[in-house]
Amino acid sequence: MPNKLIIGTETEFGIMSRKIDGYDPVTSSLFTINHLRPFSALRILWDYENEDPLVDARGFVVDGEKERPTQDENLNLNKPLENGGRLYVDGAHPEYSTPECTNPRDVVIYEKAGEALMHLCLENANRLRKEEEKIFLYKNNTDGKGNSYGYHENYLMLRATQFEKIVQSLTPFLVTRQIFAGSGKVGTDNKADPAAFQISQRADFFETLIDLNTMAKRPIINTRDEPHADPKQFRRLHIIVGDANMAELSTYLKVGTTALILQMIDNEHFITGLELDNPLQAIKAISRDLTLKKGIKLANGKEYTPVEIQRAYLEEAYKYFGSMERDPVAFEIMDHWQEILNRLEKNPNELSRKIDWLIKYDLINNYREKKGFDWDNPKLAMMDLQYHDLNPEKGFYYTLLKDGYIDTMVSPGLVLLAKDSPPRDTRAYFRGMCIKKFPKEVYATSWSSVLFDIGNFTIKRVPLLHPLKGTEALVGNVFNRSETAEDLLRNLAA
């Protein structure tokens, strides 16, 4: 059986205010996340000990300063959550990380829970601000002024897998998956070639193939080597090339298909013969081709459309996963993948209820034609932004959803539950349950540990170096038998 991948995502939210003069996005971001009641009252640190974003997967460490905030700064910057995730401020943006998940449906659920938590922060924060200082949050990737903020995916892989093989097999897939994972964009950014409407918000911002940076000279393949797990056994592949999605199917396919490809690579089923002649040129060209019919030149001189490249990956996935005991999660992903590719090839407009860029295009283009606007009309750019507004009363995505114009995959009840309940089948269960049951005794937490202060002048660290340890199946009974944090530590040691 293939190595079971652990998936998680990080979303940096766009933040704006009606106040222009003197507006400080950092202060506004901190103000926002510190109004997630009742979590905002908890004093739990984030443990930075095992975090080092300066280690490169190619075998070296770059110069730079590690983030080591003071204790007061740490408490202000970080909100570890009962659902096993994390709310924090990164740079000038509020950011939400999902807990570790074992399947793409759970990623969708916990991303939607993150949207709900961020909106709760927003409501609480805005009650304390003057009308002219109200804050707005957007789940998108660009402010329309040449600045982009990230959406990052994380996949646990085997340390033994050669990084060069990952780059070779994965690059054509990442460049072309925007045809179902793009969130759509009016116009262009970053001094890129002009376009009326694009498939991807992020495509214009990638300037190199491989690098450690995430904010400048952004690479298609990021080389950060920060496993958040046993470094001898695992690596964490940090993917920064994707758009932040509102549509559930776009998120599901984005992380689900990528997880399948990485499982194949981890198990030495490499995909070759699809290497692109110029990946940086291709990612931008695909974003501008709404017909999906233009060929992309491969390194071998052939030309394939992005649908054909994705179909080649799908065929390899069916071949690989069909050769072993049936995995219902893998086959569900592949079946959705096949259906979407068929529709994209035949008539993309059939997906105007299902994937972001086509939902958005249908909405904005219908309005544009009704009003007789050209694509450079500023009202269309505002509609683009409004699609991603986290306020359910104002965001166009939520309005379309409420009015029955968007298809969903997960139930609102599961999203509501996920706001304060962790996944049961990863170490996030242990982390989240510790915060939920013993909030005063949890001194600090991270992805790979929970630290307890039980009042005897020592800090007890419980390591979580394997993402599939700490599940409900393994420690649920321990929590049931533990009335106090001291009981928990004693029962874990027994």
Chain-centre distance for alpha carbon 263: 18
The Cα-based distances of 281 to 218, 241, 297, 309, 393 in angstroms read: 14, 14, 10, 16, 39
Judge whether 90 counts as a catalytic residue: yes
Residues 309 and 274 sit within 8 Å (Cβ to Cβ): yes
Single-letter amino acid code for the residue at 318: Y
Rounded CA-CA distance 51/228 in Å is 7
Residues 463 and 446 sit within 8 Å (Cβ to Cβ): no
Single-letter amino acid code for the residue at 436: K
Rounded CA-CA distance 70/400 in Å is 44
| Helix, strand or coil, per DSSP, at residue 142 | strand
Helices and strands (DSSP H and E) totals, the chain: 16, 20
The Cα-based distances of 47 to 52, 77, 224, 340 in angstroms read: 12, 12, 19, 41
Q: Which residues contact 47 (CB under 8 A, 6 or more apart)?
A: 444, 445, 446, 449, 451
**How many CB atoms within 10 Å of residue 463?**
13
**What tokens appear for 323 in the block?**
């050769």
**What tokens appear for 97 in the block?**
């990380």
Task: Work out the burial of residue 13: count CB atoms within 10 Å of its CB; fewer than 13 is exposed, 13-18 middle, 19 or more buried.
Answer: buried
Q: Give strand pairing partners of 11.
A: 96, 151
Chain-centre distance for alpha carbon 45: 23
| Helix, strand or coil, per DSSP, at residue 133 | helix
- Residue corresponding to tokens 């990380």: 97
Query: Of these residues, 90, 362, 453, 487, which one is catalytic?
Result: 90
Biggest distance spanned by C-alpha atoms of the chain = 73
Q: Is the dihedral of CA 37, 38, 41, 42 positive or negative?
A: negative
Q: Which stretches of 47-149 are assigned E, i.e. beta strand? A: 55-56, 60-61, 78-80, 86-90, 93-97, 135-138
**What tokens appear for 338 in the block?**
């096949």
Q: Smallest Cα–Cα separation from 225: which of 92, 59, 364?
A: 59
Rounded CA-CA distance 318/335 in Å is 9
Rounded CA-CA distance 417/235 in Å is 30
Rounded CA-CA distance 332/336 in Å is 6
For helices 163-176 and 306-321, the axis angle rounded to 10 degrees is 130
**Positions marked catalytic:** 90
